[in-house]
Amino acid sequence: MSDMAAQPSAPAELPSAKTDWLPLLLIPALGLLALPFVGSPSTWVTLTVAGLAMGMMIFLMASGLTLVFGLMDIINFGHGVFISLGAYATLLVLGPLAGWATADSIGLNLALLALCILVAMGVTALAGAVFERVIVRPVYGSHLKQILVTMGGLIVTEQLIHALWGASPIPIPLPQSLRGAFVLGDIVMERYRVVAVIIGLVVFVGMQLLLNRTRIGLLIRAGVENPEMVEALGYRIRRLFVSVFIAGSALAGLGGVMWAFYRQTLTAGMGMEVMVLVFIVIIIGGLGSVGGCFVGSILVALVANYVGFIEPKLALISNILVMALVLIWRPQGLFPVARR
Amino acid sequence: MSTSPALSLAFDETRRRGGLLTGLLSSDLPRSRALSFILLAIFVLLAATPFLFSGSQPVGTAAKICVFIVLVASYDLLLGYSGIVSFAHTMFYGIGGYGIAIALERISPTWGSVAIGLVSALALSALLAVAIGLLSLRVRAIFFSMITLAVASAAAVLASQLSDITGGEDGLSFQLPPALRPAFRVLSEPVFGTMINGRLLAYYLVFVVSLVVFLLLLRIVNSPFGRVLQAIRENEFRAEALGYRVVAYRTAASVISALAATAAGALMALWLRYNGPDTTLSFSIMIDILLMVVIGGMGTMYGAVIGAAVFVLAQSYLQVLMGAGSAALAGIPLLPNLIHPDRWLLWLGALFIISVYAFPGGIVGRLRQSKS
């Protein structure tokens, strides 16, 4: 189980962790495998870019959840409501600044998107702090109660969204210059998806840098491995937990904004709908692993796109099939977290 | 398999003392006067509803309570007794409903097709439950919750997309076997002002089957098998160390619970003469079940009875109350929205959270405590 711990530790210099390449190779292998089935290369590129964009959005929504689980051993079934909340928070910006969305200027449009993201992250961070304090804190340590209580939190918050913004779906327009697609020869790439890929990559790289190159990242990783030890060394692990929870909620808010502009409709249940994918992704990735979550998101989204093109009926259950196959191959997920 | 001598002695003692009733209830008595009274009242009311109330709504509500008692009790076998959270319970419920609906619609409205539909639905449920259990419980119990959620949502999508088989979003309406149709008369004269017709027979079919399945579940949780489940819930590691195969027991529990849910789905379809995604498969029903189990009381089968009765009644009648309250507060910002009739889940959700924190035993736990 814990093959990491079994390795003898070299005293002089830290042993570099062996990178597990196999799951990473899955993505290009999958792409190549799909190419002959799809047929035309231009369609393949279109499908792949669309799949990557979808994968990035799922990653944005899932990363917070997997981090919270990895560090705090808390499974938050209410995570989906932060996605919805982030999506609805865009209304706070889109309401007063509706002109920016229709303006024919890339600068203003992107500024609007950035502002939406900032506000949404602020709102969900705040909501996350409250959620942690009121809903989650009393049930640290018991998975069963966590699932129940966070489900309860989900129900209540969803209903509050209904009470605040009304129960009917709200259409939101995509900013003017993000509509349409880039066309390169036969290849068609929707602009918004390209933006989503870029934002997803930035967040992923940022998270990797934060986790692997900074002091706080070191503490977080140490906390995942052994919280008692970190506490014994004099760090306030509780404060670290809470900030990770808040950061995770804010990431869900970011994902919610991206998801909302992608769907262009707001419903309170939208977060819960996408949570199914999110759970599949974090199970595939190995609960608690950010890298696994990234690979899992892209894997699931690509498979869904390819299968949807090749055999549409099968696409309905392709996610489940991917999950089943991965779990048969590696029961703990692609990148198992060493602890437990 | 040995329980402690003192415990088994007490167990035998109650069994010897109690007569038929204790036997029927598997020696798991309500253990509280108030609880016994409420359960008895629910039983009598459900048994006599067609004769006590006129109109179709009360009977419909009563039938719904019966079905939900089975559904919630079977869920409690997982949640309360085995300590694992499944989100696929509505999938099994839906399989039961669709089994009956498809068989009666496509083959013929006879008892033969009821049997075919029920048996194939039960077989499919058992198969799926085993597959899910082995795939997820083998690793960690927490996977189970997420995987069941994923599988259940895939099942819901499948049911709405494969419209050739399931009727898609519209669902399937079908004819019942002749003996259960309203036009079927058993007696030409009404008894106590109620016509003894096929509809009444259908109600009592639902009532009796629900009662039998409930008693069966009560028997299962009070069997040595049920004790092992509770041991696993309390301390998985220790149970494994004592030699019980945790995965096998948990998978068995999830299969039993799936079978009971399938039966409940079949009953619901028979009663409604219709089955569609919204009546049996939707995620909101899953949330309803969770609320019922927790509010009624986890880990007691009687909690299912009370939870289902309270919840279905609240669903039918609380909204009227909230509508009145909302109208009375019109003009104040936000407040009318909070007690708008459509927001009733908000309050039940809050009650749910409070129950998990403050009364883990739910209503039943509360009643049993106040006795002593």
Identity of the residue in B146, B153, B356 whose CB atom sits nearest the CB atom of A152: B356
Considering CB atoms only, which of B135, B154, B346 is closest to A327?
A: B135
Interatomic CA distance for residues A190 and A210, integer angstroms: 30
Contact criterion met (CB below 8 Å) for B274 and B173: yes
Write down the pLDDT at residue B18: 60
Out of A149, A164, A328, whose CB is closest to B356? A149
* Distance separating alpha carbons of residues B69 and B263, to the nearest angstrom: 12
Å between A150 CA and nearest CA of chain B: 8
Residues 310-329 of A with CB under 8 A from B: 313, 316-317, 319-320, 323-324, 327-328
pLDDT at res. B115: 94
Q: What does the pLDDT look like over B141-196, one tens digit per residue?
A: 778 888 898 888 888 888 888 888 888 888 888 888 888 887 777 777 777 777 77
pLDDT, mean of residues A34-44: 83
Question: Which one-letter DSSP state was computed for residue B197?
Answer: B
B interface with A, Cβ–Cβ below 8 Å: 79, 83-85, 135-136, 138-143, 145-147, 149-151, 153-154, 157-158, 161, 283, 287, 290-291, 294, 334, 337-338, 340, 342-343, 345-346, 348-350, 352-353, 356-357
The length of chain B, given as a count of residues = 372
Q: A163, B158: Cβ pair inside 8 Å?
A: no
Chain mean position to CA A71: 16
**CA angle, B365 as apex, B361 and B370 as ends, to 5°?**
145
Partner residues linked to A182 by β-bridges: A189
Residue B260 has pLDDT above 90, yes or no: yes
The residue with greater pLDDT, A24 or B87, is: B87
Rounded distance between C-alpha atoms, residue A217 and residue A211, angstroms: 4
Q: Is the pLDDT of residue A4 over 60?
A: no
pLDDT score, position B143: 81
Indicate the DSSP class of residue A183: E
Top pLDDT among B115 and A97 is at B115
Residue corresponding to tokens 């997997």: A66
Question: Both ends of chain B: CA-CA distance in Å?
Answer: 31
pLDDT > 90? residue B218: yes
Nearest to B353 among A149, A163, A283 (CB): A149
> Which pair of tokens denotes residue B55?
């109109």
As given in the structure block, the two tokens for residue A60 are 């944005």
Q: Can you list the alpha helix ranges (DSSP code H) found in chain B?
A: 5-17, 20-24, 33-52, 56-76, 89-102, 111-136, 141-161, 163-166, 198-221, 224-234, 236-241, 246-272, 283-296, 301-328, 335-338, 344-358, 362-371
What gap in Å lies between CA B358 and CA B372, rounded to an integer?
Answer: 18
pLDDT in tens, A163-208: 888 888 988 888 877 777 787 777 778 888 888 899 999 999 998 8
pLDDT of residue A255: 92
Q: Which CATH number fits domain B31-371: 1.10.3470, 1.10.1740, 3.40.1710, 1.10.150?
A: 1.10.3470
Backbone angles phi, psi at B275, to 5 degrees: -145, 135
Closest Cβ opposite residue B85 in set A139, A144, A317 = A144
Rounded CA-CA distance A170/A164 in Å is: 13
Which residues touch A317 (CB under 8 Å, ≥6 apart)? B154, B158
Distance between A111 CA and the closest CA of chain B, angstroms: 32
The angle that helices B283-296 and B89-102 make with each other, rounded to 10 degrees, is 120
Q: Does residue A288 belong to any structural domain of this protein? A: yes
CB A141 within 8 A of CB A251: no
Q: pLDDT digits over A237-277, tens only? A: 888 888 989 999 999 999 999 999 988 889 888 888 888 88
Interface test with B, best of A139, A142, A159, A160 (most B CBs within 10 A): A159
Residues of B in contact with A332 (CB under 8 A): 139
Judge whether A246 lies within some domain.
yes
**Which segment of A80-84, A123-127, B89-93, B350-354 scores lowest on mean pLDDT?**
B350-354
Backbone angles phi, psi at A201, to 5 degrees: -65, -45
Query: What distance in Å separates the CA atoms of residue B336 and residue B180, rounded to the nearest whole number?
Result: 44
How many domains does chain A divide into?
Answer: 1
Nearest to B349 among A145, A152, A331 (CB): A152
Residue B114 is which amino acid? V
* Average pLDDT of span B122-135: 93
Q: Residue B343 and residue A163: Cβ atoms within 8 Å?
A: yes
The torsion angles phi and psi of B87, rounded to 5 degrees, stand at -110, 10
CA distance B156 to B162: 10
- The whole-number pLDDT of residue B169 equals 83
Residue A227 counted as domain residue: yes
Q: How far is A129 from chain B (nearest CA, A)?
A: 17
Amino acid at A66: T
Q: What is the CA radius of gyration of chain B?
A: 21
Determine contact, residues B88/B156, Cβ cutoff 8 Å.
no
The closest of A101, A119, A120, A118 to A110, measured between CA atoms, is: A101
Pairing verdict, β B274-275 and B172-173: antiparallel
Q: Does residue A4 lie within any of the structural domains? A: no
What was the ipTM of the complex prediction?
0.80
**Rounded Cα distance, B109 and B310, in Å:** 34
Most A CBs within 10 A among B142, B288, B294, B340, hence the mutation to make, goes to: B142
CATH code of the domain in which A296 resides: 1.10.3470
Whether residue B346 and residue A156 make contact (CB cut-off 8 A), yes or no, is: yes
**d(Cα A125, Cα A131) in Å, to the nearest integer?**
10
| A124 within some domain | yes
Check B149 against A147: CB less than 8 A apart. Answer: no
Strands (E), chain A: 170-171, 181-184, 187-190, 265-266
Q: Which helix (H) or strand (E) holds A116?
A: helix A106-131
- Are the CB atoms for A81 and A154 separated by under 8 Å? yes
Domain boundaries, chain B: 31-371
The contacts of residue B106 (CB under 8 Å, 6+ apart) are none
Q: Contact at 8 Å (CB) between A98 and B168?
A: no
What's the pLDDT band for A296 if we cut at 50, 70, 90? very high
In this structure, is residue A6 part of a structural domain?
no
First to last CA, chain A: 8
Model confidence pLDDT, tens digit, residues A307-329: 988 888 787 788 888 888 888 88
**What's the predicted TM-score (pTM) here?**
0.85
pLDDT at B358: 82
Q: If you average pLDDT over every residue of chain A, what do you get?
A: 84
3-state SS, residue A226: coil
| pLDDT digit string, tens, across residues A86-96 | 999 998 888 88
Query: Who has greater pLDDT, B93 or B181?
Result: B93
- Chain B residues lying within 8 Å of A278, measured CB to CB: none
- pLDDT averaged over every residue in chain B: 85
Contact flag A275-B149 (C-beta cutoff 8 Å): yes
Please state the φ and ψ torsions of residue A182, each to the nearest 5 degrees: -80, 135
Q: Which residue of A has its CA nearest to B131?
A: A324
Q: How far is Cα of residue A286 from the mean position of the Cα atoms in its chain?
A: 14
Give the HSE-up count for residue B303: Cα atoms under 13 Å, Cβ half-sphere: 31
- Which residue from A minimizes the CA distance to B156? A316
List chain A residues with CB under 8 Å of B348: 155
CA–CA separation, B88 and B95 (whole Å): 11
Shortest CA gap B131–chain A (Å): 10
Q: Is the pLDDT of residue B99 over 90?
A: yes
Give a yes or no: residue A101 inside a domain.
Answer: yes
Q: How confident is the model at residue A2 (pLDDT cuts 50, 70, 90)?
A: very low
**% of chain B residues with pLDDT over 90:** 38
CA atoms within 13 A on the CB side of A175: 28
Residue of A nearest to B290 (CA): A148
**B128-145: average pLDDT:** 83
Tell me the nearest-neighbour CA distance from B340 into chain A, angstroms: 8
Substitution target in A66, A134, A156 with the highest count of B β-carbons within 10 Å is A156
Q: What is the DSSP string of B340-366?
A: -GGGHHHHHHHHHHHHHHH-TTHHHHH
- A36-51 mean pLDDT: 85
The SS3 call for residue A184 is strand
**CB contact (8 A) between residue A144 and residue B83:** yes
Q: Domain range for residue A94?
A: 37-151+165-329
pLDDT tens digit sequence for B44-78: 999 988 888 877 888 999 999 999 999 999 999 99
B346 contacts on A by Cβ (under 8 Å): 155-156, 159-160, 163
Contact A316 B141 (CB under 8 A): no
